[in-house]
Structure 1
Amino acid sequence: MKMDKVETTTCCIVGGGPAGIFLGFLLARAGVPVVVLEKHADFLRDFRGDTIHPSTLELMNELGLLDQVLEITDFRAEQLYVNFEGRSIAGPTFAHLPTKCKFIGFVPQWDFLTLLSEQGRKFDTFDLRMNTHASDVIREHGKVVGVRCESPDGEYTIRADLVVAADGRSSTLRAATNQQVIEDGVPIDALWFRLDRPAEDDGHTLAWFRDGHMLVTIPRRTHYQVAMIIRKGGFDAIKQRGLNHFRETIGVVCPSLKQVAEGLGDWKDVKLLTVQVNHLPKWYEDGLLFIGDAAHAMSPMGGVGINVAIQDAVAAANLLTEPLRSGSLATKHLQAVQTRREPAARKTQHWQVRMHAMLFGGNTSPDQAILVPWYAKIGAWLFAPILRRLAGKYIGMGFQPEHVESKRASTSDQPD
């Protein structure tokens, strides 16, 4: 019988998204040998989250990488605006936050991940393997001791003191280990597509509501990444009405996009994003830890997902570096990560679910219009200054901002 090739490391991270790459970088920086597995050959995916919030920019400042991040930032927003039925309304403001960067940065996620991986590779303890899929875990005496990998070079095994599942809402390791997933229920999905940015548009209006429709416009240097929020199950009915009707709807909801919407030439350019909000009751078992969307999938509401995932990574590095480095890692250390991060993750999800209920109600009919209720409009008008600051605080900083506590292994190995 042919034996698998076997490799060993201290920590094996499955998933090369923000949580996985950030955790891998922090552990390697602290001298912990780490292998990060990313199943794709590159980071180029159109529909990753791109909003880097002040909490994450503060972390980059702590790591001495802020200037590099700002260089790849497409757009900065000190305040966001929402357009209701043709009227622009000031939304969350970040000017009051206790951070160096008092704005949201729109950063293409592939550029952000490339930056982090390049910084990680400056450490001998960082090993990023692209185009490598972790298909299953390996157990001995009930403990997870590694993963089985598939790559273009063949199948092999990586044994590790700790396996971290950071492989997103469709986590392979979550399915392979039969984890219980609790769904919170979401009444919406999103249709993602790309449009040219009109020359006269300033990019600060993020959401548009009109005639029962909602658009989200995410600015990049040369174009908009646009999301049309729809009722769950409503895409087929939209396609039946035809692409011309879809383009007309875009122009009605956001008049500045009317002309550029004509460039949308085929339904293949419109991608359905199935929105999920769910969580694991338990993020860990002996030898295995789940973080980011693998532990708690977020809605796109507020653009907080990438930032919450990074906060998970920082907390995990703070709590696990010394046990991993000393060889004393125990299940209690993994439990401590969940204890630290779960309250913030669940508060964020509860806020998202409440916002979904307010905007989209309990009606699950795919044809039901999206209407902002009258009491929400009155409340927003009466308490606008307070709500702008509160929204800016919780969107910009999250419910539990983290700070880098893990130390560099040696000054000679620091990134430039």
Structure 2
Amino acid sequence: MERTTCCVVGGGPAGMMLGLLLARAGVEVTVLEKHRDFLRDFRGDTVHPSTLRLLDELGLGTRFAEIPFPKLEEMRMRIGDTTVVMADFRRIPGAHKYIAMVPQSDFLGLLASAAEAEPSFTLRRCTAVTGLLTEGGRVTGVRYVTEDGTRGELAADLTVGCDGRHSAVRGEAGLRQDSFDVPMDVWQVRVDAPRGSLADGRVLARFGDGQAAVTMDRGDYHQTSYLIRKGTDEELRRHDIQWFRDRLGALCGWGDEVTSTIGSWDDVALLRVTMGRLRRWYRDGLLCVGDAAHTMSPVGGVGVNLAVQDAVAAARLLAGPLRRGSVTALDLARVQKRRALPTALVQKSQLSEHALLRQALDGTLGDGGLPVPLRLLRGVPPLRGVTAYLGGVGIRPERAPAFARG
């Protein structure tokens, strides 16, 4: 049987960061990624200030800066004719006063390149995990299948599930999330809008007439998330695509020459929004981090940042036990204890934002005036720095371990 010290399932932000850090600690680590490459549509394409600082500490800041990207310096919300600045990243401390709007494939490619320079790191693409190996109740590795149908087993002292919101590892381990009610699903679409309709890199949320959308200027197109009531996708798609073009155009102020770039419903991807959190992130021999442990709402775009922070904490706390060959459930519990509070606070904040989204989809947001939090943000500009810090840096941001610094 093949063997590694740590098997990381999933080559997303958490998996690649964890693999890189453990490899720099001298731990033999194998990352299993089911896809051939990192190219995905509508993934989290934001790198937050706390992650940018991590890249600097890892000696990767200069290489990252060579990737062309727009900088998000503020987030705005427009309710009818009223605009509110929700976060101003220029007000936060540190060298990086912005969110980098970088395709996730470029970010993951950078991490993979740095990790593959380490002799103890292996990335195996086109390899999907199909089950867990167990012995006496302890997880001892994984079963997998490759793209050509070859099946195999990989034994490991520790298996880490970094395989996202639909985590196969989580399900195979019998770990169940406590779910939160969410009011919406999201249609995701690219619109070839004219340049200049938004400032480069700006994110603008728009609410009006029972509609809600978030548009992100990506240079040659606008990445747009259009919110619909939970579970109504099939019903709404019975309309002709022109119905959607008209509604989106009215909300965003786009004419037919813009919305006509949406050719058919095939151009409109559905994200079924879920949100939940494991009561226990681990069992003997196995740990879940990132969305596998706590599925985040897309609100605020903080899922990638949280996943990266989980990975850094896990690497710092587990590198020593992995090198000694003595990882225990108590070691895994320490990771959860470290990351539980930041996760719970972010999800609590997202649930508060969901209350605004319910009002927006009901068409009642702004009736009788703006909600108190939005009035405060309009009237007290320094508060925009507080919201930027909470969203861009977060509670208990992690620093690169000494063994991994470049």
- TM surpasses 0.5: yes
Give the residue type in structure 1 aligned to 2:263.
G
CA contact (8 A) 1:30 1:406 kept: no
Whole-angstrom distance in 1 between the partners of 2:376 and 2:119: 56
| 1:197 alignment partner, one of 186, 193, 199 | 193
Measured on the aligned residues, the alpha-carbon RMSD in Å equals 1.9
Please tell me whether residue 62 in structure 1 is matched to residue 31 in structure 2.
no
Whole-angstrom distance in 2 between the partners of 1:10 and 1:237: 49
| 2:321 alignment partner, one of 293, 300, 323 | 323
Structure 1 residues 245 and 20: alpha-carbon distance in aligned structure 2, compared to 1, 3 A threshold = same
Structure 1 residues 271 and 222: alpha-carbon distance in aligned structure 2, compared to 1, 3 A threshold = same
For 1:71-220, what aligned pairs fall within 5 Å after superposition? 71-152=66-147, 154-201=150-197, 202-203=199-200, 204-220=202-218
Question: Offset at 1:98?
Answer: 2.4
| 1:39 alignment partner, one of 34, 39, 42 | 34
The answer for the alignment partner of 1:25 in structure 2 is 20
Deviation string for 1:316-343 (max 9, x for gaps)?
0110111111222211110000000011
CA contact (8 A) 1:143 1:286 kept: yes
Question: Offset at 1:78?
Answer: 1.6
Whole-angstrom distance in 2 between the partners of 1:174 and 1:382: 41
**Identical amino acids, percent of aligned pairs:** 42
Whole-angstrom distance in 2 between the partners of 1:370 and 1:24: 47
CA contact (8 A) 1:145 1:163 kept: yes
* SS in structure 1 at match of 2:403: coil
Question: Offset at 1:345?
Answer: 0.6
Deviation string for 1:259-309 (max 9, x for gaps)?
321110110110110111101100011100000000000001000000000
Give the residue type in structure 2 aligned to 1:388.
R
Structure 1 residues 86 and 205: alpha-carbon distance in aligned structure 2, compared to 1, 3 A threshold = farther
For 1:349-364, what aligned pairs fall within 5 Å after superposition? 349-361=347-359
Give the residue type in structure 1 aligned to 2:392.
G
The answer for the alignment partner of 1:381 in structure 2 is 375
Whole-angstrom distance in 1 between the partners of 2:138 and 2:178: 24
* SS in structure 2 at match of 1:144: strand
* SS in structure 2 at match of 1:229: strand
Deviation string for 1:230-255 (max 9, x for gaps)?
11022233223321111011111111
Question: Offset at 1:380?
Answer: 1.7
Please tell me whether residue 227 in structure 1 is matched to residue 222 in structure 2.
no
Give the residue type in structure 2 aligned to 1:134.
V
Question: Offset at 1:210?
Answer: 2.0
The answer for the alignment partner of 2:280 in structure 1 is 282
The answer for the alignment partner of 2:271 in structure 1 is 273
TM-score, normalisation: structure 1: 0.92
Higher alpha-carbon deviation: 342-351 or 216-225: 216-225
CA contact (8 A) 2:85 2:377 kept: no
- Unpaired runs of 5+ residues, structure 1, are 1-5, 409-413
| 1:341 alignment partner, one of 339, 345, 357 | 339
CA contact (8 A) 2:84 2:374 kept: no
* SS in structure 2 at match of 1:168: coil
Question: Offset at 1:209?
Answer: 1.4
Structure 1 residues 24 and 370: alpha-carbon distance in aligned structure 2, compared to 1, 3 A threshold = farther
Higher alpha-carbon deviation: 167-176 or 258-267: 258-267
Question: Offset at 1:375?
Answer: 5.7
The answer for the alignment partner of 2:365 in structure 1 is 371
CA contact (8 A) 1:210 1:252 kept: no
Structure 1 residues 155 and 30: alpha-carbon distance in aligned structure 2, compared to 1, 3 A threshold = same
Structure 1 residues 172 and 379: alpha-carbon distance in aligned structure 2, compared to 1, 3 A threshold = closer
* SS in structure 1 at match of 2:158: strand
Question: Offset at 1:73?
Answer: 4.5
TM-score, normalisation: structure 2: 0.94
The answer for the alignment partner of 1:3 in structure 2 is none
* SS in structure 2 at match of 1:230: strand
Question: Offset at 1:62?
Answer: 1.0
Question: Offset at 1:258?
Answer: 5.1
Whole-angstrom distance in 2 between the partners of 1:33 and 1:386: 47
- Unpaired runs of 5+ residues, structure 2, are none
Deviation string for 1:87-131 (max 9, x for gaps)?
433220112322211101111001111111011110111101111
CA contact (8 A) 2:183 2:357 kept: no
| 1:312 alignment partner, one of 310, 317, 324 | 310
Deviation string for 1:356-388 (max 9, x for gaps)?
023315x9xxx8447355464454224432431
Question: Offset at 1:257?
Answer: 6.4
CA contact (8 A) 1:83 1:205 kept: no
For 1:218-257, what aligned pairs fall within 5 Å after superposition? 218-256=216-254
- How many residues are paired up? 401
Question: Offset at 1:222?
Answer: 2.0
Whole-angstrom distance in 1 between the partners of 2:130 and 2:364: 40
* SS in structure 2 at match of 1:52: coil
Give the residue type in structure 2 aligned to 1:340.
R
CA contact (8 A) 1:190 1:230 kept: yes
